[in-house]
Amino acid sequence: MSKILPLTNDVVMQMYFTRKGNEEQLKQFIKAVTHLTDDDLAKVQVENPKLQKDKVGHKDFIVDVNVTTKTGQRINIDVQVQNHANFIERMVAYNARNYASQLDRGEDYEKLRESISIVVVKFPLFKDTAEFYEHILFRRNNRKIFTTAQQFYIIDLTKLPDELTDSKTRWAALFNAQSQEELKMLSRDYEELRAAADKLIELSADKEVRYLAQRRRDGEMLRKTLEADAERRGLERGFERGLESGLERGLVQGRDERNVEIAKSLLTTDMSFDEIAIHSGLPIEQIQILALEMNC
C-alpha cells in the first residue's frame, strides 16, 4: 500500500490549499461544506499563503488557512486530530477575532462581513449526536437566528457515513484517505474529486513537504509528552496531599497542581498566555503570575 501525506496533518492541509495551481480545489472544498455560492467564491484571496517553515517543529505553532472571498466573507480552515481542554472556547475566540479584525478604529460596522470557521476534527467533538457534519449559528430561545455574523461548520471524520452521498461526505473521505489506493478509488467513483486526489498524490511526493509534515508530527509529540509529564507530576503531588488532607480534597489539589505544571512547562516555550490558558485550563491572570515567578 502506497502511503500519502494525509490532509489531517495541518501542515499538509495548509500547503495543499495554498499551493499554486490548487485554487480550484480550495473553492470546491469551501463550496462543498458551507452555504457560499459560486458568485461568493468567484475570487478568493488566501491571507496566509506562506507557511512559516522555520516554526513547523515548534509544539505551539498554529497552522490554518485564512481566506477572504469576493463578497468579503472571512473564512478560517482548521484541522484537529486531538481534543484538548477548552477546544470549543478556542474555536469561538479565533472566530470572534477574525470577525473583529475586519474593522479599523472608527470604521462603520456595516463593513463587517460573515466570519466562518471550517473545523475538521478526528475525534468526537459532540458526543450527543451521530451526525458527522454540523452548521452552528447563534440562535435565540425561540430558535430563530440571532445573527449570521459568526458561523461554524464542523466535520467529524470519526462519524463519516459509509455512503458518500454528497460533496461534503466525499471531501471528508479525501481528508480521511491514507493511501494512493484510497485516493484512486475516490477518483474512479467520483469524478469531481479526480483533480483533488491527483494533486494530493503530487504533494505527497514532494520531499520538502514530507520533511515538514514529519517535523510537525514530532512537534505535536513533544507537546503531548510535556503535558503528560506535567499532569503526572501534578497528580502525584495531589495524591501526596490527599493522604494528608483527605481523598476528595487531594483530588481537587491534584487537578490544580496538574494544570499549574502544564502551564509552567508551556511558559518555557513561545506560546502566548491565551494559548497556555487554553491548554492548561488556568485563568490568564494566574499564568501571568507564574510567568513573573519564573522570570519568563
Cβ density class 134-162: b for 16+ within 10 Å, e for less: eebeeeeeeeeeeeebbbbbbbbbebbee
- CA distance linking residue 148 with residue 40, whole number of Å: 16
Residue 47, pLDDT > 80, answer: yes
Kindly tell me the sign of the dihedral angle through the C-alpha atoms of 6, 78, 195, 158.
Answer: positive
Provide the grid cell at 295: 522570570
Q: Is there a contact between 230 and 261 (Cβ–Cβ < 8 Å)?
A: yes
Is a pLDDT exceeding 80 seen at residue 54? no
| pTM of the predicted structure, to 2 decimals | 0.75
The model's pLDDT over 173-190, given as tens digits with 9 standing for 90+, comes to: 999 999 999 999 999 999
* 63-72, 85-94, 252-261, range with the lowest pLDDT: 252-261
**Cα separation, 31 vs 168, whole angstroms:** 9
Q: How confident is the model at residue 246 (pLDDT cuts 50, 70, 90)?
A: very low
**Helix (H) / strand (E) containing 202:** helix 194-204
For position 247, what pLDDT does the model report? Answer: 46
Cα–Cα distances in angstroms (integers) from residue 146 to residues 105, 113, 119, 150, 266, in the given order: 25, 15, 22, 10, 38
Mind listing the pLDDT tens digit for each residue in 72-131? 999 999 999 888 777 898 899 999 999 999 988 778 888 899 999 999 999 999 989 999
| Cell numbers found for residue 18 | 495554498
- Partnered with residue 134 across adjacent β-strands are 154
**More confident call, 51 vs 191:** 191
pLDDT of 155 strictly over 80? yes
**Are 17 and 29 contacting, i.e. CB atoms less than 8 angstroms apart?**
yes
Better pLDDT: 11 or 238? 11
Average pLDDT, integer, range 200-226? 77
Q: What is the side-by-side order of every strand in the sheet holding 115-121?
A: 44-46, 65-69, 74-80, 115-121, 145-156, 133-139
Residue 211 CA to residue 215 CA, distance in Å, equals: 6
Grid cell at residue 136: 452552528
Query: What's the distance, CA 215 to chain centroid?
Result: 18
pLDDT of residue 219: 59
Q: What is the mean pLDDT of residues 146-159?
A: 96
pLDDT range class, residue 61, cuts 50, 70, 90:
low
pLDDT average, residue stretch 135-148: 94
d(CA 16, CA 157): 18
Query: Binning pLDDT at 50, 70 and 90, where does residue 241 land?
Result: low
pLDDT digits (tens, 9 = 90+) for 3-43: 899 999 888 999 999 999 999 999 999 999 999 999 999 99
CB atoms within 10 A of CB 177: 22
294: amino acid identity, one letter:
M
